[in-house]
């Protein structure tokens, strides 16, 4: 039987790597959050008019370009520390709070689902480090959220006729928003291939709860999940999803051993 605290340590290390890379990305896009950039705090602060004056003043200080970049630097070094020496609760409290600031700076999220799962895992790491029993609960919570992420995504897709017919595949990969590799673009024009791929994605996502039922299925789903996220990176450029979802997989493996 695996020790839940050991599993949390492994997730902590993986999250350290993922958050360090995310922080580097923010550091590299400094100009976009400046007062000459896209997300200017002087404008964004209007979303938080409802907050008490003292909190607004604190946010004004934290969210200015200079201080926000300092926070991202702190986040980067703290994440490296998390990967190397993931034993202190305070490391994960800092990572959670700085990630929360990012969601405020980008009106809910910068990178959608990957921000959400980053926040959830970091919160669970904070809670799980308090007591061994809480460690077990934290691993279960991560597991349920990750399984839900696949299952709900599959459920929304299967309800849509375009996904059931496979035409949604070409619709997404041909979108000018993405620089999809040419061979995928050409393949997705074939209706049979597109329908097969669409149903493979739907069935994979809808059946993901089976990850908990048998050791062989656990290995299969986790490996398929890695390939799925790798594919999403190649087609849609979603690199963050690969790292954050991979970091959660030890929790799924642990929970599958308990069932």
Residue from 2, 10, 13, 39 that binds other proteins (CB under 8 A)?
39
User: Which residues within the stretch 166-185 sit at the binding site for other proteins (CB under 8 A)?
Assistant: 168, 171-172, 174-179, 181
Contacts with other proteins by CB under 8 A: the residue count is 74
Least distance CB 76 / other proteins (angstroms): 11
Binding mask 40-79 for other proteins (x = CB under 8 A): x--xx-xxx-x-----------------------------
Rounded to a whole number of angstroms, the minimum distance from the CB of residue 248 to other proteins is 13
| 103 touching other proteins, by CB under 8 A | yes
Q: Which two tokens stand for residue 33?
A: 């959050």
Piece of the chain touching other proteins by CB under 8 A; list 57-65, 74-82, 96-104, 130-138: 96-104
* Burial category of 248 from C-beta neighbours within 10 Å (exposed 0-12, middle 13-18, buried 19 and up): buried
State the minimum distance, in angstroms, from the CB of residue 180 to other proteins.
9
Question: Considering only residues 106-135, where is the footprint of other proteins by CB under 8 A?
Answer: 106-113, 115-117, 119-120, 123
Stretch touching other proteins by CB under 8 A, among 149-157, 188-196, 214-222, 246-254:
149-157
Stretch that binds other proteins, among 3-11, 75-83, 85-93, 208-216 (CB under 8 A): 208-216
Give me Rg for the CA atoms of the chain: 20
Residue 215 lies near other proteins (rule: CB under 8 A): no
Q: Which is nearer to other proteins, 13 or 40 (CB)?
A: 40
Q: Which is nearer to other proteins, 61 or 156 (CB)?
A: 156
Residue nearer to other proteins on the CB measure, 227 or 259: 259
């Amino acid at each position: 039987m695996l020790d839940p605290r050991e599993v949390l340590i492994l997730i902590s290390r993986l999250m350290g790597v993922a958050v360090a890379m995310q922080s580097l990305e923010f550091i590299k896009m400094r100009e976009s959050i400046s007062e000459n950039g896209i997300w200017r705090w002087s404008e964004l602060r209007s979303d938080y008019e409802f907050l008490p004056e003292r909190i607004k003043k604190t946010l004004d200080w934290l969210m200015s370009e200079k201080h926000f970049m300092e926070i991202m630097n702190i986040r980067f070094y703290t994440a490296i520390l998390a990967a190397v020496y993931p034993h202190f609760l305070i490391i994960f409290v800092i990572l959670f709070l700085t990630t929360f600031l990012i969601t405020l700076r980008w009106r809910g999220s910068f990178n959608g689902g990957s921000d959400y799962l980053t926040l959830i895992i970091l919160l669970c790491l904070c809670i799980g480090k308090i007591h061994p029993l809480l460690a077990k609960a934290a691993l279960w919570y991560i597991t349920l959220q990750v399984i839900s992420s696949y299952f709900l995504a599959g459920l929304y897709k299967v309800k849509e006729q375009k996904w059931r017919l496979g035409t949604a595949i070409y619709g997404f990969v041909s979108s000018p928003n993405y620089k999809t590799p040419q061979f995928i673009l050409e393949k997705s024009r074939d209706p049979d291939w597109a329908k097969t791929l669409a149903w493979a994605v739907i069935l994979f996502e809808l059946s993901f709860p089976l990850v908990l039922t048998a050791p062989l299925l656990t290995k299969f789903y986790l490996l398929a999940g890695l390939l799925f996220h790798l594919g999403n990176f190649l087609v849609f450029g979603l690199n963050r999803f690969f790292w954050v979802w991979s970091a959660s997989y030890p929790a799924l493996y642990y929970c599958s051993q308990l069932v």
